[in-house]
Chain A
Amino acid sequence: MNIFMMLAPMSVFLGLIGVAAFWWTLSHGQYDDPAGDAARILLDDAEGPLD
């Protein structure tokens, strides 16, 4: 029972971290342009270090 009393709050805490992380992505506009974000990774940076 002791181990349960330790694991239960830990699992709830981990879940809360997940919700907080989701809230952060939402408030930082990560879902505003999914198509653009997928496309941008394919573009070469104009002033990249390898140029």
Chain B
Amino acid sequence: MALTYDLAPAPDLTAFLKRTGAKPSLDLLVTGARCAACLGKIERETAALKGVAAARLNLTTGKLSVTFDNAGAADPGAVIATLARLGYPASPYDPDLAADARDREGRRLVLCLAVAAFGAMNTMMFSVPLWAGLFGQELGPATRVVMQWWCALVATPCVLYAGQPFFGSAWRSLRAGRANMDVPISIGVLLTLGISFSETILRGRDAYFDAAISLLFLLLIGRWLDHQLKASARSAAADLLALQAPSAGVLDADGMERRRPIGEVAVGDRLIVRPGERIPVDGRVESGSAELDTSLLTGETRPTQVRAGQTCAAGAVNLTGVLYLRALARSEDSSVAAIARLVEAGAQAKSKYVQLADRAAEIYVPVVHTAAILTFVGGWVLGLGPREALLRAVAVLIITCPCALGLAVPAVQVAASARLFRRGVLVKSGAALERLAEVNHVVFDKTGVLTEGRPQLLDAPAPVVALAAPLARASIHPLAKALAAEAGPGPMADAVIEYPGLGVEGVIDGRRARLGRAEFVGAPAPDALETELWFGFEGDTKVRFRFSDRLRPDAAEAVAALKAMGLTVEVLSGDTPRAVAIAADGAGISQRRGGLSPIGKAEAIDTLQSGGHKVLMVGDGLNDTAALARAHAAMAPGSALDASQNAADLVFSGERLGPVVETLRVARLARRLALQNFGFAAAYNLVAAPAAMLGLVNPFLAALAMSGSSLVVTLNALRLRTAK
């Protein structure tokens, strides 16, 4: 539940300056830059600013790095203002938080992939003559041995280098007393290498050097896809985190204002909170009065009035006047921190979810290893001799290679998130898609999710709006701004005085007029349920402007589509039951609950889930974060608070709710395709494993079967791009 007013909090930008090198620099996240013209314009105009030494934009990630001449000349505000004037909204972020740790691992994987590709190709060059020899072509034993040694020479170093990601992961998993998919991969690859060497030395026919390295090549593709998906999601999440560098204005003994990180604010500090800023910690108002937007905390859409002596809770946004506060609690003890703890607990619960691929590995690993051991023991007992028995056991391990399994899930998830990305949905992890596919109950928040989350003028006649517009344009109050937006551009009233928390007074065409609260304008007591403004000329009749939060254009359509998919839909909101009922009726949702506290929402989700429901929570406010973290899966709109976007698994953008339906559809499709891939891999192994046990497999067949199964799985995953 978040009602966003048109007042942006004023961030303390100098906190984002990096002072590591000789010159201070600033990193900005720029949105909207897509082409060469944008790139040129942004870099030229930014570099032309006073004090700026250089500016470079990364068009792929949208990150602009600005270097200043010296710390004194650095003016981050001017850079952001210039970008805003050019039409590219920018926000600073802290690159230390959005650390590029992913880059190191990503680069290592790419390098391993390159080495494996090199090894596979060059080993293949020597393998083709060997395969020809298998089919009765001329190949003398001497030539064969030379070819095999060349294979060994190229493949062995490549396997040892490119296999490191698997060997390392297998070793860690074994030390933890478990066996993941990397254990059979590592054992299989190393055994293959060993048996191939012994075959080559003993002048045997079956050397599988090419199989070992191409197995790694195919597996590395799956590993790299998986990594790319996680890295892009993680960097998006890290950027969100890095954007929040909250600071508070603390007044020292001389009345001088200092910006301090919120964590350093102590009980008893005097704080200043300007309009548009968030209350940093719980505090008591010492002087000043203002209207507060507490919708993030309570879900109440009406602003509340605070005066000297009253307390206000951290997280509320100051809408109108300057407030001087005395801090009553530290940041960790403030009311928002309780919500943050709930979020943490929810995130921990979610990390226990076992992914499909791991569940497959739990079955696959013991079955394959038992089969290989049985082949070896059985072959020896039945009189094959230890060498032939071992060769067949290794053939089982190679042919049942988990490359199809290793690709089955990442390929599907990458295709799914690419499809969703085109629809404006950011998938933060592959596991989220799997959880989403299991959902059978959808819970919506009201304000900002079902509705647009902005106050909008309700059916007022245009002449009346035009009459009040000159005063409305002069005011910074969000409701007045909505009124001014409705009226469009025009003249402004003269001699305007703004009374914080009450309204504005001014002169329009020589007549004194007031716009604001009912008692300020002189109107009868208001109907407490509506968000409203009153307007009147001195001594004239008073007019009322009512404001309401409109439903998203396709809310009803999206809810109907969800119901058609067999899901049940519910609204949980912190707003008054009447306001919730109006929105729920408009969207066609019969299950609704209003007046819930943030903790009440999380408890409602817990109750639903212990009743066997798998809940998808769609919410955007601070009061939703706990519920988002508790739910089986969670989505947040792009307009949501950073904290909510962090708690959610997926973030969708745009004015419509359609992406929620599309995401659920794609998630279910992805699950179906992943299961199909597993089914295919199982069927393939059921044929291939017995063939290997009977000794029907030679190096050529192994290479063919391996790449063939991987190809089938990948092509099946690609169906997701077009499938309905």
Q: Do A and B bind each other?
A: yes
The reply to whether B118 and A19 form a contact with Cβ atoms under 8 Å apart is yes
Q: Which chain B residues in 105-146 approach chain A with CB under 8 Å?
A: 107, 110-111, 114-115, 118, 121-122, 125-126, 143
Question: Residue B720 at the A interface, CB < 8 A?
Answer: no
Q: Which chain B residues in 568-624 approach chain A with CB under 8 Å?
A: none
B150 — which chain A residues lie within 8 A by C-beta? 8
The reply to whether A16 and B39 form a contact with Cβ atoms under 8 Å apart is no
CA distance A36 to B55 in the complex (A): 14
The reply to whether A34 and B114 form a contact with Cβ atoms under 8 Å apart is no
B59 — which chain A residues lie within 8 A by C-beta? 33, 35-36, 39
Tell me the minimal C-beta distance from A4 to chain B in angstroms. Answer: 8
CA distance A34 to B59 in the complex (A): 8
Most chain A beta-carbon contacts within 10 A, residue among B44, B118, B121: B118
Question: Residue A50 at the B interface, CB < 8 A?
Answer: no
Question: Residue B14 at the A interface, CB < 8 A?
Answer: no
The reply to whether A40 and B39 form a contact with Cβ atoms under 8 Å apart is yes
The reply to whether B107 and A36 form a contact with Cβ atoms under 8 Å apart is no
Question: Residue B35 at the A interface, CB < 8 A?
Answer: yes
Question: Residue B40 at the A interface, CB < 8 A?
Answer: yes
Question: Residue B238 at the A interface, CB < 8 A?
Answer: no
Looking at the complex, which one of A8, A16, A43 makes contact with B36 (CB distance below 8 Å)? A43
Looking at the complex, which one of A19, A33, A36 makes contact with B115 (CB distance below 8 Å)? A19
**B-side binding surface: helix, strand, loop or mixed?**
helix
What are the interface flags for B17-59 relative to A under an 8 Å C-beta threshold, 1 for contact and 0 otherwise?
0000000000000000001100110001000000000000111
Given known A-B contacts A8-B150, A42-B36, A36 and B57 have beta carbons under 8 A apart: yes
A39 — which chain B residues lie within 8 A by C-beta? 35-36, 39, 59
Question: Residue B61 at the A interface, CB < 8 A?
Answer: yes
B114 — which chain A residues lie within 8 A by C-beta? 19, 22-23, 26
Tell me the minimal C-beta distance from A17 to chain B in angstroms. Answer: 10
Tell me the minimal C-beta distance from B633 to chain A in angstroms. Answer: 31
* CB nearest to B100 among chain A residues: A32
- Total A-B contacts with CB atoms under 8 angstroms apart: 48
CA distance A33 to B60 in the complex (A): 5
CA distance A8 to B115 in the complex (A): 18
The reply to whether A26 and B40 form a contact with Cβ atoms under 8 Å apart is no
Question: Residue A12 at the B interface, CB < 8 A?
Answer: yes
Question: Residue B493 at the A interface, CB < 8 A?
Answer: no
CA distance A23 to B112 in the complex (A): 10
CA distance A46 to B59 in the complex (A): 19
B61 — which chain A residues lie within 8 A by C-beta? 33
The reply to whether A11 and B122 form a contact with Cβ atoms under 8 Å apart is yes
B35 — which chain A residues lie within 8 A by C-beta? 39
Question: Residue B361 at the A interface, CB < 8 A?
Answer: no
Looking at the complex, which one of B58, B107, B122 makes contact with A12 (CB distance below 8 Å)? B122
Q: Which chain A residues in 1-51 approach chain B with CB under 8 Å?
A: 1, 8, 11-12, 15-16, 18-19, 22-23, 26-27, 32-36, 39-40, 42-43, 46
B125 — which chain A residues lie within 8 A by C-beta? 11
A43 — which chain B residues lie within 8 A by C-beta? 36, 39-40
Looking at the complex, which one of A15, A27, A46 makes contact with B118 (CB distance below 8 Å)? A15
- Which bracket fits the contact residues of B? 20 to 34
What are the interface flags for B79-121 relative to A under an 8 Å C-beta threshold, 1 for contact and 0 otherwise?
0000000000000000000000000000100110011001001
CA distance A18 to B110 in the complex (A): 14
CA distance A1 to B145 in the complex (A): 13
CA distance A17 to B36 in the complex (A): 34
Looking at the complex, which one of B39, B107, B126 makes contact with A8 (CB distance below 8 Å)? B126
The reply to whether B154 and A12 form a contact with Cβ atoms under 8 Å apart is yes
CA distance A34 to B60 in the complex (A): 7
A42 — which chain B residues lie within 8 A by C-beta? 36
B122 — which chain A residues lie within 8 A by C-beta? 11-12, 15
Looking at the complex, which one of A8, A15, A33 makes contact with B58 (CB distance below 8 Å)? A33
CA distance A43 to B56 in the complex (A): 14
B60 — which chain A residues lie within 8 A by C-beta? 32-36
Tell me the minimal C-beta distance from B248 to chain A in angstroms. Answer: 36
CA distance A40 to B40 in the complex (A): 8
B44 — which chain A residues lie within 8 A by C-beta? 46
A46 — which chain B residues lie within 8 A by C-beta? 44
B143 — which chain A residues lie within 8 A by C-beta? 1
CA distance A40 to B110 in the complex (A): 25
Looking at the complex, which one of B39, B57, B107, B118 makes contact with A18 (CB distance below 8 Å)? B118
* CB nearest to A42 among chain B residues: B36
Q: Which chain B residues in 157-215 approach chain A with CB under 8 Å?
A: none
* CB nearest to A34 among chain B residues: B60
A33 — which chain B residues lie within 8 A by C-beta? 58-61
B58 — which chain A residues lie within 8 A by C-beta? 32-33, 36
CA distance A16 to B44 in the complex (A): 42
The reply to whether B121 and A15 form a contact with Cβ atoms under 8 Å apart is yes
* CB nearest to A1 among chain B residues: B143
Looking at the complex, which one of A19, A26, A34, A35 makes contact with B107 (CB distance below 8 Å)? A26
CA distance A39 to B111 in the complex (A): 27
Tell me the minimal C-beta distance from A2 to chain B in angstroms. Answer: 12
B57 — which chain A residues lie within 8 A by C-beta? 36
* CB nearest to B129 among chain A residues: A4
The reply to whether A23 and B111 form a contact with Cβ atoms under 8 Å apart is yes
A1 — which chain B residues lie within 8 A by C-beta? 143
Tell me the minimal C-beta distance from B109 to chain A in angstroms. Answer: 11
A11 — which chain B residues lie within 8 A by C-beta? 122, 125
CA distance A33 to B58 in the complex (A): 6
CA distance A12 to B58 in the complex (A): 37
Tell me the minimal C-beta distance from A21 to chain B in angstroms. Answer: 10
CA distance A42 to B60 in the complex (A): 16
B107 — which chain A residues lie within 8 A by C-beta? 26-27
Tell me the minimal C-beta distance from B86 to chain A in angstroms. Answer: 16
Tell me the minimal C-beta distance from A3 to chain B in angstroms. Answer: 13
Tell me the minimal C-beta distance from B58 to chain A in angstroms. Answer: 4
Tell me the minimal C-beta distance from B560 to chain A in angstroms. Answer: 39
B115 — which chain A residues lie within 8 A by C-beta? 19
Given known A-B contacts A26-B111, A46-B44, A40 and B36 have beta carbons under 8 A apart: yes
* CB nearest to A31 among chain B residues: B110
List 17 A-B pairs, Cβ < 8 Å: A1-B143, A8-B126, A11-B122, A11-B125, A12-B154, A16-B118, A23-B114, A26-B110, A32-B60, A33-B59, A33-B60, A35-B60, A36-B57, A36-B59, A39-B39, A39-B59, A40-B36
Binding site for A on B (CB under 8 A): 35-36, 39-40, 44, 57-61, 107, 110-111, 114-115, 118, 121-122, 125-126, 143, 150, 154
Since A32-B58, A39-B35 are in contact, a sample of 20 more A-B pairs with Cβ atoms closer than 8 Å, ordered by chain A residue number, is A8-B150, A12-B122, A12-B154, A15-B121, A18-B118, A19-B114, A19-B115, A22-B114, A23-B111, A26-B110, A33-B59, A34-B60, A35-B59, A36-B39, A36-B58, A36-B59, A39-B39, A39-B59, A40-B36, A43-B39
* Nearest 6 interchain pairs by C-beta: A36-B59, A39-B36, A42-B36, A35-B59, A33-B58, A35-B60
